[in-house]
Structure 1
Amino acid sequence: MTSSEQTDSPICAIRFATKSDTGLIVQLIKELADYEKLSHEVVVDEMTLRETLFHQRQVAEVLIAEYQGLPVGFALFFHNYSTFLGKPGLYLEDLFVKPHLRGLGIGKHLLTYLAKIALERGCGRLEGSVLDWNKSAIDFYLNLGAQPMSDWTVFRLTGQALINLTKQ
């Protein structure tokens, strides 16, 4: 699927985001953060997002889901790499559908579209993370055949810890 392609289904339309969607993407990120009770961690603004998504060194991509002509969700993803498979993969950073429209199949349609992108790009896997308390998201992924990676623990360096590491 190229960035200019769009897919329509009886459920919703999926398209790649463009630079003009930057404000919408920031709004959806903030709605996701509200849902996840993490609003205090959101520092992204339109300028930063525009530079990372739509400039020469694009580090992530975004799909927009539209229902009845209105944007109602998004999937933000980027490439990673599996040394064991010797292939690229796609990492789903965020998948969000507005709460009042959940259960209609919009999230499944976004993920199905993303799976097609992964296969077309020769990726060996599609993965992401779910908050431990988000039972509906966990059930969603389990119902699609995803397997939890319970043997793995995510470690993160950010802010001052990241800066401190560079001084060692």
Structure 2
Amino acid sequence: MENKQLLIREATKSDLPIILKLIYLKAQFDGCPESVEATLQKLEDTLFCNNPIEFILLAEIDREIIGFASYHYIYSTFLAQTCLWLNDLYIKPERRGKGIGTALIERLCQIAQENNCGRIDWTVSINNPKGIKFYERIGATIIQKVRLCRLDKNAIASRDRIC
């Protein structure tokens, strides 16, 4: 990594504008910028309320925010234990390959250990071979036999099709 000091820290309310910008950059990277519905107010309401439902770690070098990881707690019935769900991990392209993603994952591992979490789960796009290699390099198992399932807000609203 560079000689400059890397800081991994919890986000604060004053970070909301850069968090929103990073979310848009992540969506562009994923090829779906039109799917972002986040606003500063929505982020404030969910990240900085009495019982936050999501947490953000920021990666910073010389006061420049260069990446983030968002996560929340889940429960595994198989383990009968709390686990972490890594929702998003994003590093600005010009800063990749310098240990920043590893530092974010290491901090998530510390948080998981501090909270007696049984594991950390996440998804990775099959169109992200560099991400897949990175996750395998840090020791992640890429489970091929499961598929992400989703009911979007339209499907939720039209429940009559389910029954």
TM-score (norm. length: structure 1): 0.91
- 1:74 is aligned, of 62, 65, 68, to 68
Distance 2:113 2:160 in 1: 37
Deviation at 1:159, TM superposition (A): 1.8
Distance 1:98 1:84 in 2: 36
Unaligned segments of structure 2, at least 5 residues: none
Matching residue's letter, 1:104? K
- 1:12 is aligned, of 2, 6, 31, to 6
1:93 equivalenced with 2:87 (yes/no): yes
- 2:140 is aligned, of 146, 150, 154, to 146
Runs of 4+ in 1 over 2 A off after TM superposition: none
Distance 1:93 1:81 in 2: 15
Judged with a 3 Å threshold, the aligned counterparts in structure 2 of structure 1 residues 107 and 66 are, in CA distance, closer, same or farther, namely same
Q: Is the 8 A contact 1:65 1:106 kept in 2?
A: yes
Matching residue's letter, 1:146? A
Unaligned segments of structure 1, at least 5 residues: 1-8
Q: More displaced, 17-26 or 88-97?
A: 17-26
What is the percentage of aligned positions where both structures have the same residue?
35
Deviation at 1:160, TM superposition (A): 1.1
Q: Is the 8 A contact 1:11 1:106 kept in 2?
A: no
Q: Secondary structure at 2:70's aligned position in 1?
A: strand
Distance 1:124 1:137 in 2: 23
Map 1:52-131 → 2, pairs under 5 A: 52-131=46-125
Judged with a 3 Å threshold, the aligned counterparts in structure 2 of structure 1 residues 116 and 144 are, in CA distance, closer, same or farther, namely same
Distance 1:126 1:11 in 2: 26
Q: Secondary structure at 1:63's aligned position in 2?
A: strand
Q: Secondary structure at 2:158's aligned position in 1?
A: helix
Distance 1:103 1:26 in 2: 23
Q: Which residue of 2 aligns with 1:164?
A: 158
Distance 2:159 2:43 in 1: 25
Judged with a 3 Å threshold, the aligned counterparts in structure 2 of structure 1 residues 20 and 153 are, in CA distance, closer, same or farther, namely same
Q: Deviations over 1:13-39 (max 9, x none)?
A: 010001111111100000111111110
1:28 equivalenced with 2:22 (yes/no): yes
